[in-house]
Structure formats: structure tokens, C-alpha cells
Amino acid sequence: MDLQVRVPIADRIRPEQYERELDKVFKRAWLCVAHTADVPEPGTYAVVEVPTFKASLLVTRTADGSVRAFHNVCTHRGNKLVREGKGCRRQFTCGFHGWTFSNDGRLTGVPDEGQFKDFDRAVLALPEVRCEVWQGHLFVNFDKEPRYTLAEWLGELHGEFDNYFEGREEVSQYEVEVSANWHLGVNSFTEGYHTRVLHRNTAPDYLGSKDNVHRHRPFLQLLERHSRYSAPANPDHRATPAEVVAYEGNRKLVPAYGTPREDLPPGVNPGRVSTWAFDVMEIFPNFVAINANEWHLGLWFWPIDAGRTLIRGQRFMYKAERPSDRLGQAYSKVRAREILREDLNTMEAIQQVLQSGALTHMQLSQQELSLQHHFRVLDEMMTLD
């Protein structure tokens, strides 16, 4: 299937299209739902909401160190077993009638059990969701019989990131609901054409150069299902007074990205670009990873319905050893937050216009090949039985 330069975007945001996408795409894909940093030690757990399926997952790390995912539901009367958050528990007790489950899903305690007939604890264990871990990222598959293994789903990406996502600390996590279709959210982060204009005040000279005014990507690759590109750092960027203070003697974060490290695995800066800022990688359908020298960011775009998306972000940076490291991290977080706000506002503006019917198609450029690829993969999945 060829890439389309004119994409019928109005058709993509219709409620009937969304319902088909749930069935043909989201119920079949391997979906990244969390990071194993959320459950670092045996006994720890995290509640992960998946609004796309109105599902609540209970992710646990069991005594043997494995990570598992269960539907967060007491199998007695359907009460939500754990309301929210993270923590450390060896067992979970329902606040309705006191049924207790171990963190490996077994039903271990039932008050007044003798009053139940035809009772089988094994049948009433927590319903498990198929999950696998890849480089610290937890993926689940809601299909009863998955059509692909996680390795098959990730394809070329699977073996290219050894030791990259390890050894960092989480420095921020956030979520925001936007009035926009999930495609618009993913599309906003998988091209760099907009950065010179939309972020002209928040990131005026972070990317590109006088020889690359329009910030063309020095590396872009379309894979079987996914895509990735490298953003060009600006060698002529002039540090502001705040940046001088924030990064003096520290590792470079945003926007002074620093010289690309020589120990990066093949999946990071895959084109080995010398003036490299970071990579943007779309793992289809709804996860975007932004990877740099000393930090990485995961972005989830969970569709709630045809016109609303829950966006989650989780940022990791090198482990701080000094107060000055914290200053550099804090400054980069603030800069990234201000840039993100501009993206969110634009998504909602586009959604409003598309719903009016004023625009039916997007005319995409060579800088927006990742968007063209996104919709090609979508169309291919929509045709599968």
C-alpha cells in the first residue's frame, strides 16, 4: 500500500471509524502500558488505567521478580480491588467483603467460605492479561489469542536498545485529557516541520541551523509498523543566562544536547548524526518514545472516544548526584512543559476545525512521512480479518 500525501483526516475522526479501530487495531496490538520502574521490587504494584477499554490493570512484581498484569477486579462482586496509585503489598484485600488475593493473582482468603457452593479458588483468581517486558517497558495484549509475539510486533526495534533505558531515575510523570482524536496527538509528535513556527518563542533555536533553516531530519526510517527519526541539534545555539546557570558543570539536557555518546546502542541515534539532538520513535499505535543522550521520555495517547484522548508522560534522566544536577533537571522539565502546552492547544484547535467539516484532507510533505506511514499501517490493520 502506497503512502498517501493527501490523507482523508475527517474520515479518521468519525465515531464509527473509532469503534472499528478499537476492534481492528487496539484489541490486536501490543500496547505499552507502563514502565517497570513503577514496580521496582518484589511486592510492589501499580494501578494503570486504560481508558480505551475502560479497563483498570493491576501491575505487580511477584516474589520471583517477574512482572504480571491483572484486571483490577475482585472476582466476587466486581469491586475495584485497588482504587489507584502505587505501593508495596504482598496481598490485596477487597474493601467490599474482604476477599484477599496474592500479588501473583491467587485467591488466598474468603471470609465465611463455607457458605459458598460449587466454590473453586483457582477459577476465581484474578483475571490475567497477557503481558511481556521489553527494555523496561511493559506491553499487554488484550486479544484472547494474540496474532503476534511482542518480538514480532516490535520487529526491527526489538534488539536495538540493550542497556539504554536502564540506570536512570524518573523525574516527572503527568497526564492530561485533551479534546482531540488520538491520531492528532500521535501526529503532533512524529514530525519536526512544525517546530520552527509553533515553538518559535519557547524553543527558538533549539534545532536546525543556518544551513538547515526548516529543520529537515538528518535520519528518518519507516519500519514495518513503526517509524523513527532523529532531530538535528543546532550547533549555533547560544545559551541563555538561565541555561548557563542550569547546566554549568552538568550534563547537557534541553536544549544544549551535548556531543552524542559513543556508547549508545544501535537503536539510539541510528544514523550516527554528529549534530544530534534526540530521536522520536513511534511504536504503533499509540506510544511515542523520545530518546536522547541523558534522558528519555515516554508518551502515551490513550483514546477515550473519537474526540477525546488521555495523554500520559513519563520522563527519565540520569541519576542526580549533586544539587546542581537537580537544577539542570528542573530547568529542562520546565522548558519541555512549556513546549508541550503549545502542542496540546494546537491539537484541540485542529479537532474543532475538523469537526466543522471545513477541512476533509491533510496535504502532507516529505517532512511528514511518519504521518503518512502511520495511516498506512492503520489502513493495513483495518483490512485484516
pLDDT on residue 251: 87
Question: Is the alpha carbon torsion for 357, 361, 367, 370 positive or negative?
Answer: positive
pLDDT, position 255: 85
Query: What does the angle CA 314 – CA 319 – CA 324 come to, to the nearest 5 degrees?
Result: 110
Q: Residue 93 pairs with which residues in a beta bridge?
A: 100
Q: Could you give the angle at the alpha carbon of 3 between the alpha carbons of 284 and 357, nearest 5°?
A: 85
With CA atoms as reference, report the closest residue to 164 among 42, 278, 23: 278
Angstrom distance (rounded) from CA 190 to CA 130: 28
- In order of their start, the domains of the chain are 35-145 (2.102.10.10), 168-382 (3.90.380.10)
**Is 17 exposed, middle or buried, given 0-12, 13-18 or 19+ CB atoms closer than 10 A?**
middle
In 10 A of CB 266, how many CB atoms?
12
10-residue mean pLDDT series, the chain (385 residues): 90 96 97 96 97 97 96 98 95 97 97 95 97 97 94 97 93 95 97 94 92 95 97 91 89 85 95 95 98 96 98 95 92 90 94 95 96 97 92
Residues whose CB is less than 8 angstroms from the CB of residue 114 and which lie 6 or more positions away in sequence, other chains included:
none
Helix spans in the chain (H)? 9-12, 15-21, 150-154, 182-189, 195-198, 241-247, 323-356, 369-382
**Can you give the pLDDT at residue 350?**
96
| Cell numbers that stand for 6 in this block | 493527501
**What is the predicted pLDDT for the residue at 249?**
84
The per-residue pLDDT for 1 is 57
| pLDDT value of position 252 | 86
pTM over 0.85: yes
